[in-house]
Structure formats: C-alpha cells, structure tokens
Structure 1
Amino acid sequence: MASKLQRNIALGLLSAALLSACSTSPTGRKQLVLLPDNQLNEMGVASFAEMKSNTPASSSTQATQHVQCVADRIIAVLPDEYRKQNWEVVLFNDEQVNAFALPGYKIGVYTGLLDVATNQDQLAAVVGHEVGHVLARHGNERVSTQLATSQALALGSQLYGEDSATKTAIFQGLGIGAQIGILLPFSRTHESEADVIGLDLMAKAGFNPEESIKLWQNMSKKGSSSTPEFLSTHPSHQTRMNDLNAAMAGPKQVYTSLKAANKTAHCY
C-alpha cells in the first residue's frame, strides 16, 4: 500500500511539473519548455564563441556582405523582442552545406551552403528556417523533452520494484521506444515547423518564397540519406517540398504585394 501511494504521489508531482511547463509555439502548437530562456541564451553564446575559435570566418568580403544582407532583412521582420536584439552573423569558411541559428541571437552560415543556395532567395529560405528554430524555442523544447523523458524512465524504474532481467529488458525497450516514438518525431516536427516559419519570414523580408522549393531540389541533387524517414531526425526532401507547397499561398501573396510596391530584397 505504501509503495503504491509513493508511486502515485511521484507520478502526480511529475505530471504537475510537466503541465505547468506547457507553452505554445508561433504556429499554435503545444510544447514542453522546462528551462528559462536566459539559460539557453547563455548556452548559445558559449557554443558560438567556441565555434568561432575552432572554425575560421570566410575571407570573402563579397560573400560575407551577401550573407549579412540576407540575415539583416530577415531580422528586420522579426517580432520586437527578437528584432531589437544585437544579432551576430558569421560566414564560416567550411565546406559543409549547413547553417544554424542559436539562442543568444547568433547566426552561422557555412561557405559550402552557398554552392547549393545559389541566390539570395534560397539563402533566405535557410536563414529564415534557422531563425524559425529560435523563435519557436526548439532548443529549449528539445532539451526539455529529453530531460522529461529520461526522468520519467528513471522514475518508472525506481517505482516498479527490484532490478531483474525482465525489468531491465522492459525499460531498455522503453528507452528505444522513447527515442523513436518521442524524440525523433519531435525533431521532425521542429524541422517542419521551422520550414513554415521560415517561409513566412522570407516572404515578409522581400524574398521569393517559391525559391524554397528550388533550394530543396538543389539539396536533393547534392545527395540524400539512406536512413528511412521514420528513423531520421529530419523529414525527407520530398516531404519538405510537399509541406512548403501546401503552405505557399499566404507567403506568396505577401511577396507579390511587396514586389508590386518595389520593396523586395536586393542582396545580390
């Protein structure tokens, strides 16, 4: 009886903590956020400083100005709490096809990306996507989900009796299930949500949102992963293009209006 009461109390406390940490993303999706944003900002600043010490910045003034121009246009249309921050943008001299944005208002682009994002609009699709992760607090949500999952499994292991081969097998299986059933889908959800947020940001900033589709066509030509999508942290290229097409109407209308008013971006 005492063991059952202890179990119910512990589970009740865990459930209350998780419910109190519920938040809402910019798209209206419910999310779990356990950590204060300033803690994530500090982590982002520290990570960016370490990256700058390990990876040289590009020596190309033209390429650096191009990336800065695109980032500045995206930053200019962010909500006030983000737009008014002192964002730092660095073009890293590295062949990997990638970019990122970190809590703490940091944006990094690798020179290898410029071989795939072949114009300002395609680069804006990537930068908008990465900034979308920050706006949606995906870093915080990702860490919070991992913390909650690991704590729940640890609590369950403690509450359900003495160690045994059967119990160990069950909780090892739950760990695998959590990875595939919770953590990986959450990551794919983050990527898809950042795509939609980025599409909206790039259009508002005066970039052609339809170029986001061409970007992923370029990505597909560059190479693809053999990992099945349900075991991957990212949606497939085709899934991303389908989702972007489905969300295109609103951003395209915004861009068309800006184009008619001669207010589109010129970061060539």
Structure 2
Amino acid sequence: MKKTIAILTLGLMVYACAKVPLTGRMQLAAVSNEEIMPLVNEEYAKIKRESKVVTQTSQGQQVVNVGKRISKAVEDFLLQEGYQDLVATFAWEFNLLESEQVNAWCMPGGKVAFYTGIMPICQDETGIAVVMGHEVAHAVASHSRERMSNGMLANLGISAISVAMGQNPTLTEQIFLQSIGVTSQLGMLKFSRKHELEADELGLIFMAMAGYDPRQAPVFWERMAKVGGEAPPEFLSTHPGPDRRIERLNANMAKALEYYNK
C-alpha cells in the first residue's frame, strides 16, 4: 500500500511540474496561476492602499518606463520560444512606493513595486533595469508559485491541494503570503539562494534583451554592497552575498552580451 501511494505521489509530482524558461530547471507547479492571481490582485491593491504611491513623479515614471521596456522584450522572446500560456498570465503593473527601505519586489503575474530608498543606488535607468530585470525574472520563473506549491505540499500533500484552494481559504492565504514574502511591514521576505541566483541570471539576460548594458549589473551590486554597513538593506540578501552575486553575474556575462549585441 505504501509503495502504491509513493508511486502515485511521484506521478502526481511529475505531472505538476513546469520548466523555467532559459535555465531549463524543473520546478513544482501544483498550484495554477489562475488560482493564485485573485490573491495577488487583492494583496497588491491592499499594499497600494496602505502605502504612499509616488508613481507619477519623475522617478516613478522612470520605473514604469523601464518596466514596460523590459517586460515587452521578455514577452516577445517568450512568445518566440512557445511560452504563450505563460505570457497570458502576465498583467504587468509598475509602481514606486515612498519608503526608506532599499528594496523592490514582484508578485506573480508581474505586479512590481520599487521603494524610493533603492532609487539613489540605481542612479539612472540602467541601474533601475538591473533591479527590474531581476524582479521580472522572479515572475517569469514563477518562483512564488513554486514556493506556494511546495508549501501546500508540505502542509497538505499534493492530492489535497486543489481541495484546500477552495475549502481552506485561511490556510491557502497564509501559504500564499509566505510564498510571495509579504510581511506586516509591507516588505518582502528573501527568496531562497537558488531563486535569487536564478533571478540574477535571468535578469541579466532580460535587461540585455531590452537594450540595457548588462555590464552595469556588477557595478550596481558594488554600489549596493557599500550601503548599510552592519545593517545591509533588505534587497541585499545575506544569501547569496554581493561578492557571490557579482561572481555569478560575470560568469553569465558572455551569454547576456549575445542578447545585448543582437
């Protein structure tokens, strides 16, 4: 009996897998984007209500312009590669929120927010593009969906996920908020080392696709590394550290430059 259950569970997990574009990594996708998006829209609207939105400022419009440019380039690429279903899940929105936090984040479906605290480190549109490419990458790689799928599996078992989505909304919301990393201070919890490095790799390529020089990405992280002293900014995850990120960015630079030079 146990063997049968194990085989069934393995089969369900294989069925509920997706492939990350470009990297080819397989990930658990037991929760659909259609099930996640109502939660995303509700939470993003709540954050905008509870924050001071300054998107109409000159800096806010820079964030919007860079976001539109990168998301357009990424969507064009994904459509060429046959990811029509993934592109259909995006409803991009870019906002700048007033906060001293040195941070930015992206929810599933492309709901992006920058905090004003990160703008001096970005310095210009290319710096914004480094951060934007990274955040867009989290959406394209469906990192939040993967985290939510893993959370649902850990709490319920894969056979009960679809039932829980409809019959246990409290648990579903808790796992969702954990998966996208929203905290009570409207910040975002850190993604795993694996997700952060994957977002760095994809983000480097995405900014290059949109015509931004990827060689400025390591320069941005050098600036970020100098901020905060003993209390590093939220966006500067302790895993991986800036030296590791810069090393990986430089290792992926040749591939990114192929897209930049097209």
Query: What TM-score, normalized by structure 1, do the two folds share?
Result: 0.73
Alignment partner, residue 43 of structure 1: 39
Aligned residue for 2:11, secondary structure, equals: helix
More deviation, 75-84/108-117: 75-84
- Alpha-carbon offset, residue 254 of structure 1: 3.1
CA distance in 1, matches of 2:147, 2:137: 14
Does 1:111 find its partner at 2:116?
A: yes
Query: Match for 1:90 among 70, 89, 95?
Result: 95
C-alpha contact (below 8 Å) 1:96/1:110 kept by paired residues: yes
Give the structure 2 partner of residue 132 of structure 1. 137
232, 240, 243: which one aligns with 1:235: 240
- Which protein has the larger Cα radius of gyration, Structure 1 or Structure 2? 1
Structure 2 vs 1, CA of residues 245 and 59 (structure 1 numbering), >3 Å: closer, same or farther?
Answer: closer
> 16, 22, 25: which one pairs with 2:20?
25
Partner of 1:217: 222
- What SS does structure 1 have at the residue aligned with 2:27? strand
- Tell me how far 1:140 sits from its aligned partner: 0.8
Moved over 6 A (4+): 224-227
2:30 is paired with a residue whose SS is: coil
Aligned residues: 217
Q: 2:58 aligns with which of 56, 62, 69?
A: 62
Which residue number corresponds to residue 172 of structure 2?
Answer: none
CA separation in 2, counterparts of 1:83 and 1:77? 15
Mapped contact 1:199–1:209 kept (Cα < 8 A): yes
- Hey, what does 1:120 align to over in structure 2? 125
Quote how far apart the aligned CAs of 1:150 are.
3.8
Deviations for 1:188-244, whole angstroms, at most 9, x for unmatched residues?
1111111111101101111111111011111111136789xxxx7731111111100
Tell me the distance in 1 between the aligned counterparts of 2:56 and 2:141. 32
SS at match of 2:31: coil
What is the DSSP-based 3-state SS (H/G/I as helix, E as strand, rest coil) of the residue aligned with 2:192?
helix
Aligned-residue offset at 1:24 = 1.0
The alpha carbon displacement at 1:124 in A equals 0.4
After superposition, the Cα gap between the structure-2 partners of 1:244 and 1:102, relative to the gap in structure 1 and judged at 3 Å, is same
Amino acid of the structure 1 residue aligned with 2:62 = H
What one-letter code is carried by the residue in structure 1 that aligns with 2:59?
A
Q: Which amino acid aligns with 2:201?
A: V
Where 1:222 maps in the other structure, the secondary structure is coil
Hey, what's the Cα distance between the residues in 2 that align with 1:233 and 1:23? 28
- Checking the alignment, whether the CA contact within 8 Å between 2:29 and 2:145 is kept in structure 1 is yes
Asked whether the equivalents of residues 91 and 109 of structure 2 are also in contact (C-alpha less than 8 Å), the reply is: no
Asked if 1:72 corresponds to 2:68, the answer is yes
- Percentage of pairs with the same residue: 34
Q: Unpaired segments of 5 or more residues in structure 1?
A: 153-185, 259-268
Structure 1 CA distance for aligned equivalents of residues 89 and 41 of structure 2: 17
Q: 1:190 to 1:203 in 2, by over 3 A?
A: same
In the superposition, the TM-score normalised over structure 2's length comes to 0.75
The amino acid that maps onto 1:52 is K
| CA RMSD across the alignment | 2.6
**Secondary structure of 1:97's aligned partner:** coil
